[in-house]
């Protein structure tokens, strides 16, 4: 009998993570499809879909999606934490109200990259899953501690490693640096003055090393949208600076395609850095904005890779800390991360749904209280009830208008007028 996998995602980064797992399931004989909740905020362009490796997807309202996903053998939820919580809670209530003797899907959740915020909150959002794919050993330690304190069994925690990464990082490349890549992040840094500073420093690097090809890889094209969207797109920001050095260029090639030709990757806190290290590329986290939660680099202190642009220009490159590498590149066995997840799902398919981790974790403690709170809210006045769906199909259009207004204002208005406009479009 052919097993069926359903992937649920709403953005390109989520799609990339989930499709990477789905390919492993496909290699084991599974069929798979992608569902996108139509009544929630979502944005996946054709180029993003192609880069993720998916043939297509089906838009479906939340309640219909929940019912459709229940018919699969496994569901990979590649959504932001609050929506994972909502899905798993809704599924638990559906199972309670419409029980059936067998055939419930194994629910898999995880994180699409480095967890830079809401570490414990993100774990709790995913705690009613059958498999929580944990990216690193340090994350696992935090989750185990939180679960113990809140009486949540650890049955669903799987130290899988990030599916984008190999078991062991490749040997670091040596030799001359010929190509340098900056992996841009849409909202890190957030402020326009910091973003233009970043690009100017990249220009400075290119000018100091005219024999090197210096690439900037934006997270998305100006007309595209992602979960995190740039208020000031790199293309717009660069037009505000003096002319770029001749050895500088912008590229939209996928990171995975670029890494084979790159000798040094720079970023503030992007997960692309982990892919880079995994591929044996010299890597550095830019520390010019300081170490701060808003930059996401506070979780990277142990890497040993945070460095200033001045040192980068002087070719004083950092090296990764071995203990940090051991936390990030999971080698508890010789299985790749996606293989570990598939193995665990296969084991759980043979277990009665009432004895799977999602059921065990829901019986007592924190998660049982969460469902009780949901039920109590239903009996309260509407002002005490949560909105049925956070974000609608209109939200992407509103956000796009805000982004375009910000770009136009930055280009055309004096500084004070632009700041007033930005305050308006944000509210």
Q: What is the pLDDT of residue 394?
A: 41
The whole-number pLDDT of residue 390 equals: 44
How far is 106 from 351, CA to CA, in rounded Å? Answer: 10
**Residue-level pLDDT at 366:** 85
CA 54 to chain centre: 17
- CA 49 distance to own-chain centroid: 15
What is the pLDDT, as a whole number, of residue 7?
92
**Coil, helix or strand at residue 4:** strand
pLDDT of residue 42: 73
Q: What is the dihedral of CA 118, 123, 129, 130, to 10 degrees?
A: 140
Q: What is the pLDDT, as a whole number, of residue 158?
A: 96
The token duo for 177 is 């640096």
Dihedral Cα 415, 189, 219, 38, nearest 10 deg: -90
In angstroms, the CA 122 to CA 105 distance is 22
- Distance (Å, rounded) from C-alpha 333 to C-alpha 161? 11
Give the per-residue pLDDT at 76: 95
In 213-301, beta strands by DSSP E: 213-217, 248-250, 264-267, 282-286
- Local confidence pLDDT in tens for the 427 residues of the chain: 799 999 998 887 888 888 889 999 999 999 998 888 888 777 666 666 666 666 777 888 989 999 999 999 999 998 888 999 999 999 998 998 898 877 899 999 999 888 888 999 999 999 999 999 999 999 999 999 999 999 899 999 999 999 888 989 999 999 999 999 999 988 888 888 888 999 999 999 999 999 999 999 997 776 655 554 556 788 888 888 888 899 999 999 988 899 999 999 999 989 899 999 999 999 999 999 989 888 888 989 999 999 999 999 999 999 999 999 999 998 878 899 999 999 999 999 999 999 999 999 888 778 888 888 878 888 899 888 776 544 444 444 444 455 555 555 655 565 556 555 554 544 4
């Amino acid at each position: 009998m052919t097993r069926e996998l359903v992937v649920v995602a709403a953005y390109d980064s989520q799609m990339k993570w989930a499709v990477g797992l789905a390919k492993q399931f496909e290699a084991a004989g599974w069929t798979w499809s992608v569902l996108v909740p139509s009544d929630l905020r979502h944005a996946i362009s054709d180029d993003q879909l192609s880069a993720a490796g998916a043939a297509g997807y089906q838009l479906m309202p939340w309640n219909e999606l929940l019912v459709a996903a229940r018919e699969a053998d496994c569901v990979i939820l590649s959504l932001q934490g609050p929506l994972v919580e909502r899905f798993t809670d809704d599924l638990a209530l559906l199972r309670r109200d419409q029980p059936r003797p067998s055939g419930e899907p194994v629910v898999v959740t995880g994180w699409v990259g480095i967890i830079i915020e809401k570490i414990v909150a993100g774990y709790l959002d995913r705690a009613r899953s059958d498999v929580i794919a944990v990216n690193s050993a340090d994350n696992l330690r935090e989750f185990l501690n939180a679960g113990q304190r809140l009486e949540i069994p650890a049955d669903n925690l799987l130290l899988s490693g990030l599916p984008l990464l190999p078991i062991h990082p490749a040997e670091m490349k040596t030799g001359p640096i010929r190509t340098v890549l900056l992996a841009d992040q849409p909202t890190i840094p957030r402020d326009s003055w910091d973003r233009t500073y970043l690009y100017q420093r990249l220009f400075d690097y290119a000018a100091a090393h005219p024999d090197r090809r210096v690439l900037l890889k934006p997270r998305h094209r100006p007309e595209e949208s992602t979960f995190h969207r740039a208020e000031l797109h790199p293309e717009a920001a660069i037009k505000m600076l003096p002319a770029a050095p001749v050895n500088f260029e912008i590229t939209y090639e996928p990171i995975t395609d670029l890494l084979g030709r790159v000798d040094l990757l720079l970023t503030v806190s992007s997960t692309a850095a982990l892919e880079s290290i995994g591929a044996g590329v010299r890597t550095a986290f830019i520390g010019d904005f300081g170490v701060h939660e808003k930059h996401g680099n506070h979780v990277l202190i142990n890497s040993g890779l945070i460095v200033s642009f001045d040192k980068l220009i002087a070719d004083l490159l950092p090296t990764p800390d071995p203990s940090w590498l051991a936390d990030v590149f999971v080698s508890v066995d010789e299985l790749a991360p996606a293989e570990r997840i598939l193995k665990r799902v296969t084991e759980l398919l043979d277990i009665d749904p009432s004895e799977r981790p999602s059921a065990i974790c829901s019986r007592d403690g924190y998660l049982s209280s969460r469902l009780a709170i949901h039920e109590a809210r239903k009996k309260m006045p509407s002002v005490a009830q949560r909105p049925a769906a956070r974000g609608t199909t209109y939200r992407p259009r509103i956000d796009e208008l805000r982004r375009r207004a910000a770009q136009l204002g930055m280009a055309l208005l004096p500084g004070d007028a632009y700041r007033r406009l930005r305050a308006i479009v944000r509210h």
